[in-house]
Amino acid sequence: MLEVSLIMVKPHAFATKRMGTIISMLENNNFHIIGMKSIKLTLELARKFYFVHEGKEFFERLIKYMSSGTVAAICVEKNDCVAELRKLIGATDPSKAAEGTIRRVCGTTVGKNAVHASDSIENANKEVRFFFSDIELYSYRFIQY
């Protein structure tokens, strides 16, 4: 089924110029980029985005980090997009992520693991809406080449 998902490039990966690599990996794996922007999150926005982790030991560190620099929000579209994107990013800990995954290639630690990706179809739709309005997204199905 054609789905969308959200991938967010985390501050360290953005600042150390991993955007080109990450975008290439998405394109080479046939993800269609249908929306893209860079943002500096506030603490409040990061808290809102990661609310499911509120109360966890790493929560305050996570939201401080995610609001510490520029991030890029990228909306991708593909068949089975949510599961396929989780496969391409790899495990949360880059040292445990499979060879050739984004986190293995671009991540360093569990905190600085290069990217966030949505974990379910429902969350993907919510997370895409968190960053993008209707006019900022255009399905590749409608594009005339």
Write the DSSP symbol of residue 98. P
Cα separation, 15 vs 70, whole angstroms: 7
Give least dist CB 144 to ligand IDP, A.
36
Binding flag, residue 92, ligand IDP (CB under 6 A): yes
Our answer to whether residue 116 is catalytic in this structure is yes
Cα separation, 39 vs 32, whole angstroms: 21
Binding to Mg ion (CB under 5 A) within 84-123 occurs at: 119
Give least dist CB 93 to Mg ion, A.
13
List, in order, residues 6 or more apart from 84 with CB less than 8 Å away.
Answer: 29, 31, 78
Determine which residue in the list 62, 76, 85, 106 makes contact with ligand IDP, applying CB under 6 A: 62
Within 10 A of 6 (CB to CB), how many other CB atoms are there? 26
Binding flag, residue 58, ligand IDP (CB under 6 A): yes
Q: Give the 3-state DSSP-derived string for 11-38, with helices as H, strands as E and coil as C.
A: HHHHHCCCHHHHHHHHHHCCCEEEEEEE
67/113 with CB nearer ligand IDP:
113
Determine which residue in the list 15, 68, 105, 119 makes contact with ligand IDP, applying CB under 6 A: 119
Binding flag, residue 116, ligand IDP (CB under 6 A): yes
What is the contact surface with ligand IDP in residues (CB under 6 A)? 53, 58, 62, 92, 110-111, 113, 116, 119
